Amino acid sequence: MSDTTFMSSPSLFLTSESVTEGHPDKLCDQISDAILDAIIAQDPMARVACESAVTTGLIVVMGEITTNCYVDMPAIIRNTVRDVGYTRAKYGFDYETCGVTVSIKEQSGDIAQGVDKSLEAREGQVSAEELELEQGAGDQGMMIGFACNETPELMPLSISLAHKLCRRLTQARKDNVLDYLRPDGKSQVTVEYEYGRPKRIDTIVLSTQHDPVVSHDQLEQDLIDVIAHEVIPPELIDDRTRYLINPTGRFVIGGPMGDAGLTGRKIIVDTYGGVARHGGGAFSGKDPS
């Protein structure tokens, strides 16, 4: 869709989703990033490509890492899971008892030589003054940048609100505002635009893992009052706005027990919520080079 089409459309609906920190894919992102952070803190020149996968009772961390430092990966992994909130077996995942498998090797020599020195430097096309061209790249990628004036953070309104809903879910859980909430959760927001400007919120979807004792009616009312209405600007809500709260009817089994997770599977959530293009590569667990 071109900008001209967007601005000239009398009515258009755009939808974005987000996930909480306890979602299996986002849990994997955080594990990969925690390992990266620990290594870069000691060795800024490290090469890190760290991938994680989770399933029922198991975390697998794999990838290619070249560094001169040591980090306790199993401890980092378990601490990350603990901080997210998987602290009891009844949540379907427990940081103390889950299995942890680490399979890490050094970066391939073929890739490393491309990063160590650029093609231009290897072919003598770079002078000593052009130091910025000396470092090469071991892979290819497409990077997409986008900004808009719909929100203070210069992001599309739909993804901004979806993120805020998930942050509010996590806050309500950790502060015991809604003590029956559990770590896994998702949000989705559909914004109606009129001639390129946000007009109203058409639909709000909230799905959250929960204690089995809470009734659906209570969950529905609480998530509308304590989560949605605390986040969504009231001027964007009207009598046609729809609220879909745990639309499957039940979400007790969640996290890695309910669904396998993988680093990099939420790249649209991590960028523009589908409103702008994405290059395709994951961000988590990768060093700056």
Are 168 and 117 part of one and the same domain? no
Of 89, 106, 133, the residue that ends a domain is 133
pLDDT reading at 2 higher than 60: no
User: Shortest CA distance to 30 belongs to which of 59, 56, 57?
Assistant: 59
What are the pLDDT digits (tens) for 95-152?
A: 999 999 999 998 655 455 555 555 555 556 655 555 555 566 666 778 889 999 999 9
Q: For position 140, what pLDDT does the model report?
A: 73
Rounded Cα distance between 158 and 151, Å, is: 10
Q: Is residue 284 part of a domain?
A: no
| Number of domains making up the chain | 2
> Using CA atoms, how far apart are residues 101 and 264, in angstroms rounded to an integer?
19
Residue 4 has pLDDT above 80, yes or no: no
Domain boundary among 101, 133, 165: 133
Is residue 280 a part of any domain in this protein? no
Give me the mean pLDDT over the 27-37 stretch.
98
Q: How far is CA 65 from the centre of its chain?
A: 22
The domain spanning residue 232 has which CATH number?
3.30.300.10
In this structure, the answer to whether residues 167 and 96 fall within a common structural domain is no
Enter the pTM of the model. 0.89
Looking at this protein, which amino acid is placed at residue 30?
Q
- Among 14-18, 125-129, 241-245, 272-276, which is the least confidently predicted range? 125-129
Q: Is the same domain home to 125 and 160?
A: no
> Is residue 107 assigned to a domain?
yes
- Tell me how far apart the alpha carbons of residues 242 and 271 are, in angstroms, rounded to a whole number: 25
| Residues 209 and 187 occupy one common structural domain | yes
Judge if 170 and 65 occupy the same domain.
Answer: no
- Answer whether residue 267 is part of any domain: no
Domain shared by 162 and 121, yes or no: no
Domain for residue 206, yes or no?
A: yes
The amino acid at 248: T
What is the model's pLDDT at position 142?
Answer: 83
The answer as to whether 272 is a domain residue is: no
Claim to verify: residue 96 and residue 149 sit in the same structural domain: no
> Which residues span the domain enclosing 79?
24-133
- In this prediction, residue 137 carries a pLDDT of 65
Indicate whether 232 and 167 sit together in one domain: yes
Q: Spell out the SS3 assignment of the chain.
A: CCHHHHHHCCCEEEEEEEECCCCHHHHHHHHHHHHHHHHHHHCCCCEEEEEEEEECCEEEEEEEEECCCCCCHHHHHHHHHHHHCCEEHHHCEECCCCEEEEEEECCCHHHHHHHHCCHHHHCCCCCCCCHHHCCCCCCCCCCCCCCCCCCCCCCCHHHHHHHHHHHHHHHHHHCCCCCCEEEEEEEEEEEEEECCEEEEEEEEEEEEEECCCCCHHHHHHHHHHHHHHHHCCHHHCCCCCEEEECCCCCCCCCHHHHCCEECCCCHHHHCCCCCCCCCCCCCCCECCC
Query: In terms of domains, do 187 and 245 share one?
Result: yes
109 & 204 share domain: no
Instruction: Tell me the mean pLDDT in the region 207-215.
Output: 97
Q: Residue 283 domain-assigned? A: no
62 lies in some domain: yes
Backbone φ and ψ for 126, nearest 5 degrees, come out as -115, 130
In a shared domain, residues 50 and 127:
yes
Least confident segment among 77-86, 102-111, 253-262, 266-275: 102-111
Within 10 A of 282 (CB to CB), how many other CB atoms are there? 18
Write out the H or E segment, with its range, that includes residue 75.
Answer: helix 73-84
Average per-residue pLDDT for the chain? 90
* pLDDT recorded at residue 64: 93
pLDDT tens profile 39-96: 999 999 899 999 999 999 999 999 999 999 999 999 999 999 999 999 999 999 999 9
Same-domain status, 154 and 219: yes
